Each structure stands twice: as structure tokens, then as C-alpha cells.
Structure 1
């Protein structure tokens, strides 16, 4: 999906023009159909994502079986062909068994190939710019991914249910998907489980129905979302609902297995609202229509900025809340990383650098620790430390969660602030996520934007901070 509204307008215009050209093809002319690419072209994850189409929307209806720990599910996909397609791929990983697959309502041929490819051949080719639907019914116990360097993702069983977390991969273990940040879409979740369990997902809560001992909840993410940011969880939770001071619906939940007191649950709820409203004064209007967070016992060992409702694992410290700087970090991602998303994984420093910088902003506002002090303490890391070794703007597949992405990324943000001055920096950190709302971007685009805002050439600054290994000089 395009990173700017102007690009989107151009795409619509081109699509309209293409439609006219197709209709003008002489009678009897043969249309050539070719397969979509089985990858999206990201060198870090060449098997992830696919080419030949753009997804607009996912409907995920999932029923959880607490006895077998598995699911029955139907995923519906609305998409548009970006070429004349003879066949196309979705990412679908693990042992889930497909019982039915239809394209535009008609049965389609399919096969599983490679590690995660679901290759689909519709009964007839799909013309460029035509809209089409895919409906896949499947069941089984989804796979948990345990990557040696990138950790746990996908479907994570818990003591009373399950959690789905998907960064950098994992979505394809639970639903068929074009698993690339470059193809965002809106979502609806229909989650069914025994009425004794709570089901939660991204987005706005839009109702529930209880029948025959089962409850189905409906959640809607109305703004474009990358698949790596999708989330759902099933289990026993204490849930609080309210609004932030600026009127944004706020839903938070704490896993009962953690033994978090009602008072701490309320504190987490209130702090989520408070910190979000503070960050909005720095980064501009909150980009989604609801917010919140979920404290879980999942043994994944991290917090994750799942869109509009972040996940915080506290299995290592039951009865306690995530730190307020962690909450600030994950909420900052809603602007930097979620609404505005790097097109390729090599540019993740712009997610994590700004989120880490938000921690420093929080400490300055609420604990009287100047941002400059946080910078100085981090910069004092010895020059031979591993922090300085990877390239921040291209750390490599196994280093996308390396400290250079977080800490050196935040130092880069501060170095930019010192270079361009307070007025231009304040403008930049609001206008950048607004400019890219719902879309994707690259590091080079960010640099050009910073240069446009400041009127300065910034090649040297970014060369030494993100494109060069080693500790930069001040």
C-alpha cells in the first residue's frame, strides 16, 4: 500500500486508465496471464509476502477448542489484482488442514509448496485491476515459531487459552495472508470460545453474542494494518473499558493467571490513557479509533506493539505491571511502526529508534530526567561494545532486534534534533507519521523529508549514524 495519499490518488487514476485500456483491446485479442511472485522481495525474509495482488481486507472467523487446543477457522480475503494473474500465492505455514478454498465463490485448485506457500489457481485468470475474493476454511492446531535469534511468534498456547503474536513472522501460522508490511489491509475478527473465556483482538470492539455456551466477539481494525501487527488472545482476563482524556476508547486487560490486583489493573488502564495522551502532544493526533493494552502470561519474553492494543508479557514477574517506559515505548509505536510502517525490515530502526526516544521523552516529562542525559548515558557505551557494530539502517536479518536498532536509533533521532533545531524537530516528529498514516516508507524517504523540513543537507549525519559501523564522533 502506498505511503502517501498522493500516491494512492495516482494509483486510482492509473487503475481507471488501465480499465479503459483493457476495454479497448480489439475483439479476439488474447490476454496473457502470468503467476504472481511467491515473495515480496524483502532480502531479510524472501519467502514472506507475495506479488501480483494487493489485499484490501481480511475477515477472520476463528473458533477455539479448549480441549484439543486447536481452531476451526474461515478467512475471507478481499484483494485487487495488480497484474493479469494465472495463479497467486498466500503465506500459510504449519500443519493446519484446508477443507475448502474458493476464489470469487468458485472452487479453486491449490497446493502447499515450500515452507509457507499456498499456491492457488483460480478457474479462470484474474484481470489486472479486477477485485476478487478468496475464502479458505481450515482447522487444526496452529504452529508456534521458535526462531533461534528472533524469538517466539505465531500461535502461543497459554495455561487457559492462546495468544497470537506475529513479529516478524507468525501471522501465516494462524491465517492465510500476504505476510509483508508492504501490503496493509483492514481487518475484522470474529472470535468464538466457551463463554468462560475472554477473546480479544486488534481494533474496536463491536459486539458479542452468546449461544449454546459459546460467546463470539467481534473486533474491527478499520485502519490499514500490517499482518505482523495483528493480534488475538483467548483466556481468562480482567477487562476494563473507558476513554482517554481526548475521547479515544481504551480497552485494557490483565491475565488472571498473573494474579494482578484490581488496583494494579486500574493503574495499567489509567497509565495507558495518560501516556498515550502525552505522546499525542509530541507526535500528533492518535492514528487509530481505539487503544489499550493486554498484560499476558505467555512466556514469550517481550512486549509487542500489536496495532492499537499492545501485548505485554509478564510471565517472568507475575503480579506486576510493565514499566511505564515500556508502555511509552509500545504506545509510541502506534505512530512510528504501526500507522507509519517501514516497507522493508532493514528500516526497522525508525520504528524502534523513535519508540526508544519516546521512553526518553517520558522520563523527561514525568521523572525530570533530561533527554540529553539519556543520550549521554547511552553514548557512553564503550566503542568496542557490540552496540556499535551492525549498520543501524541495515542490521541484517538476525539483528532486527539488536540494541543498535533501539539505542543507536534513538541516539540518531536526538542527533537529528540537535542538528535541525527544536522548531523543525517538533514539526518533523508530528508531520512524518501524519504524512505516512496508513502507509509505508523507507529510510531514504525519511532523510529527504527531514531535509525538506529543515532546509539542510543531512547526508553526513545519517551516514555516520545509520549507514556506518562503529561509534560516531560528536
Structure 2
């Protein structure tokens, strides 16, 4: 995720031609990254992935656990390609095929470079199969949090934001390249494997159980999950027919039962405020509180380490509209995820007997929101639309000051126009990607008679605490 383009010298080109049996090289290697400002090696250039078909077999009975995988990736070339990259950190690659033919490959860091036997042409749809195995890694982020493949007390969980999914399957791991997914996960009998989307099949044979999951709507790889462990599961539907699937570690069952029963209520409230739900399933995964250091908006069913409270559940479910359906174009646009989900918390509290959004805004501005002075000061550390580096994309300004930007817009346009803006934004970029410029343009177009210059300059992009609320 850090080199914007694979540079090929004349000598390298000749060597590659020799490896393929000679002949001219018309195509060029795809880029080993999409030039993300914070994770430049994230994703890959030269193609767009449409579907992942992942077959995984996990044995947790070693220190780190052993994973065997086959990834069948369907993609479309966006330029003539002599080679292309996939993101994969660790694990041993045993074979790669492109369109059913053996392909040459090599590894360099997180880059798996594949050279197909035949060049790929611009617009061509192709299928690449990667067979791999090993002990998947836990990745430490620039902010020192852990993601990737995390061993748990009774299994493991795959968490991907922002770069962790490359620890357990190869792909183009950047939110700008979404795809649909099929996952078949085999684990020892007695354990469960919970993933995104809808459970299509569950079969046990010779002491091992395979769980097959299907996600029909586009999904960014950082919100893909597989959670292996002992689960108490429940399946139901909401009044409007939405599938609800929850998986709870038995140690968290009692503490989680009451809050998870509110999922249908939260989904109804979300649709009233944010528009139609963009997916076919919802739910939650609740693991033990020591199994991960954070909750994550994994698509369809958010992941929680320990039983969540209602406000945290609201936050992660709001992400299904803002962050999962409308995903950021780059990791600089993280505030479009977290500012919206944080403001959803404010709206929920406002609608359910808590502080109004205005009261929350005032407390943040006045420095009385947190008991700790440093925490109050941290809100103004940098503009929400411009974190200083990758270590700060999940810091307080992205969440709280991002939500304050939305409240300033609400005060400017009025409540009726603001609700239209919330649902309209979600609809305009449904299953797509957007950046800060897209959002500011959308707001200005939605309210052409209003002047938002001060909000953009002082609250969204300005340094420090604005002079007045």
C-alpha cells in the first residue's frame, strides 16, 4: 500500500518476456497501490475486482492457528496487463492460476505479483485462483491497534480496518475496490464460523463443519470478517422482512440479550432517518471483551468485544449506511464514516430522552463533554478532513468534530432539509465511494441559497477551535 506504481526497467521487461517464452510485451504491470494518501500500497492498479469466492479451512489447535485457503477472484482489467499485484501479507502461496493456466508469481512484502501466461487486455474479465496456507498474522496499525487475524480464547477473528484483511486472503485491499463475496469456512465440529451476509449452508462431515456465507451487495474488504469460536446464535426477521442473525459468545449471552433485542427497533429508526437499509441482512457478533480492543462496523453484522451498550450498537449499525454502503474514496475521508456514525449517536439520544444534539455540541465546544481536560482539548488537535498521518485517522477530531460539522450544517439548513440531506447522501452514493469534495458539493447543491464557506473553512478544514460555536 505504499508504492504508487511498479517501475519496470528495460532489462526487467526483457527478463519478464523471457520467463513467458519470449515475444514482445504490449501490456504493462498494474500498479502496486492506488496512491492512497495514508496507505499508498493499499489496493492495486490495472483491474477492478467484482467477486471473491473464498474457501477457508481453519485449525485453531496451534499457537497461532493454521489457515488453508483458496481464493478465486473474478476481476476486469482496466488496462492492458502483463502482470498485476494482489495484497497478501504473510502466509505461503503454493500456486496461482489465471484463467485456468499456471501463472508465475513472486512475493515482495505485502505484494503478490502475478504474471499470467497470456497478457490481459483492457476490458477483459478474468479469473485468478490463489492457493495458500500458513499461520495468519496479526498486524499492528500505525496507531498501535491490532487487526488482521486475531487469535481469541476459543478461535479467531479476522478484522480488517484499515489493512488487516490482507492477513487472511489475497485481494485488492482498499475501500475503493468493492466486490461481492462467497465464503465457505471449515472449522472443527463444535465451533462456528460467522461471516458477512446470509448463511446459505451448514454441513458437518468427518468431525468438521463448513459454514457457507453469501454477500450479494458490494463490500469493501476492510469490513469483511470471519469470527471462529463457540457461539449462541439466533435468527429472526424484522417486521419488514430483513434477516437478523446474531452470534454471541456464551460468556456474553446474558449481558447482550437485552441490547440485541433492540436491533429491529434501531433498524426501523435508522431507515426513518437515513433512508432504506442498503443490505439484505443485519445483526451482530459479540465476542469476549478481551478478544479485541475495539468494535468494528463489519458489514451486515458489526463485531463487538463484549456486550455493547445501545449507543455503541447504534453507532456501528449507522455505519452500514455511512461507511459500508457509502464508503470513503481514500482513508483521508474517514470522517465521512465516523462523523456520521457519531452524529447518529447524538440523534438517537435526542430521540430517546437524552441530551439534544445541540446540548452535546455545546458541551464539546465548551470543553465540558469529557471529565478529562486533555480529552476535551484533543477534539481540536487537527481538522477532521485532514488527519496529519495514518496514525490519527481514528482520533477524536474525526469522530466528534466530524459530527460537529454535520450539526453546523443542520443549523444552517434547518431540520427538514437536513433529514433530506442525510437520506439523499446515502442514496446518491449507495454501494459506492465518496470523498470530502463530493460531500461538500452535495451539500451546496442541496441548499444553493446557503453559504457554507465558514463551515468548510473553520470547522471541516480549519486548525484549532473556531472562535464561535
Query: Could you tell me the TM-score, scaled by structure 1's length?
Result: 0.89
CA distance, structure 2, for counterparts of residue 465 and residue 212 of structure 1: 60
Deviations 1:366-407 (Å, cap 9, x if unpaired)? 234211111111121279812212121011211101100000
CA distance 1:35–1:148, change in 2 (3 Å): closer
Per the alignment, residue 10 of structure 1 pairs with: none
1:434 and 2:427 aligned: yes
Per the alignment, residue 70 of structure 1 pairs with: 66
Provide the secondary structure at the position in 1 that maps to 2:261.
Answer: helix
Deviations 1:207-252 (Å, cap 9, x if unpaired)? 1121111111111111111111111111001111101232210001
CA distance, structure 2, for counterparts of residue 435 and residue 73 of structure 1: 36
CA distance, structure 2, for counterparts of residue 205 and residue 431 of structure 1: 31
Contact map agreement 1:150 1:401 (CA 8 A) in 2: no
- 1:121 Cα deviation from its structure 2 partner: 0.3
Deviations 1:281-317 (Å, cap 9, x if unpaired)? 1000000000000111253211100011100112xxx
Contact map agreement 1:253 1:265 (CA 8 A) in 2: no
1:230 and 2:224 aligned: yes
Per the alignment, residue 330 of structure 1 pairs with: 316
Where structure 2 has 5 or more consecutive residues not aligned to the other structure, the ranges are 1-23, 368-372
CA distance, structure 2, for counterparts of residue 271 and residue 403 of structure 1: 27
Per the alignment, residue 7 of structure 2 pairs with: none
Deviations 1:31-85 (Å, cap 9, x if unpaired)? 8211101111102001111100000000111011132311111011000000000
Deviations 1:117-154 (Å, cap 9, x if unpaired)? 00000011100000000101111110001235151100
2:333 to 347, 354, 358: 347
CA distance, structure 2, for counterparts of residue 60 and residue 139 of structure 1: 13
CA distance, structure 2, for counterparts of residue 259 and residue 409 of structure 1: 32
Per the alignment, residue 98 of structure 2 pairs with: 103
CA distance 1:385–1:369, change in 2 (3 Å): closer
CA distance, structure 2, for counterparts of residue 380 and residue 185 of structure 1: 44
CA distance, structure 2, for counterparts of residue 307 and residue 461 of structure 1: 31
Q: How does 1:69-468 map to 2 (within 5 A)?
A: 69-94=65-90, 96-113=91-108, 115-147=109-141, 149-256=143-250, 258-261=251-254, 264-297=255-288, 298-314=290-306, 321-381=307-367, 385-395=377-387, 396-455=389-448, 456-468=450-462
Provide the secondary structure at the position in 2 that maps to 1:276.
Answer: helix
Q: Which moved more, 1:168-177 or 1:143-152?
A: 143-152
Deviations 1:71-130 (Å, cap 9, x if unpaired)? 111011000000000000000002x111111001100000001x2000000011100000
Alignment size in residue pairs: 434
Q: Which moved more, 1:380-389 or 1:370-379?
A: 380-389
Per the alignment, residue 16 of structure 2 pairs with: none
- 1:195 Cα deviation from its structure 2 partner: 1.9
1:59 and 2:53 aligned: yes
Deviations 1:166-224 (Å, cap 9, x if unpaired)? 00110100000101111000011101111200110011111112111111111111111
CA distance, structure 2, for counterparts of residue 239 and residue 252 of structure 1: 5
CA distance, structure 2, for counterparts of residue 444 and residue 190 of structure 1: 39
- 1:265 Cα deviation from its structure 2 partner: 4.1
CA distance, structure 2, for counterparts of residue 252 and residue 237 of structure 1: 9
Per the alignment, residue 4 of structure 2 pairs with: none
Contact map agreement 1:245 1:277 (CA 8 A) in 2: no
RMSD: 1.5
- 1:457 Cα deviation from its structure 2 partner: 3.4
CA distance, structure 1, for counterparts of residue 175 and residue 203 of structure 2: 33
CA distance, structure 2, for counterparts of residue 419 and residue 388 of structure 1: 22
Contact map agreement 2:151 2:291 (CA 8 A) in 1: no
CA distance 1:150–1:339, change in 2 (3 Å): farther
Per the alignment, residue 27 of structure 1 pairs with: none
CA distance, structure 1, for counterparts of residue 259 and residue 378 of structure 2: 34
- 1:328 Cα deviation from its structure 2 partner: 0.4
CA distance, structure 2, for counterparts of residue 470 and residue 324 of structure 1: 32
CA distance, structure 2, for counterparts of residue 322 and residue 151 of structure 1: 19
Contact map agreement 1:343 1:440 (CA 8 A) in 2: yes
- 1:279 Cα deviation from its structure 2 partner: 1.2
CA distance, structure 1, for counterparts of residue 456 and residue 414 of structure 2: 16
Q: Which moved more, 1:268-277 or 1:221-230?
A: 268-277
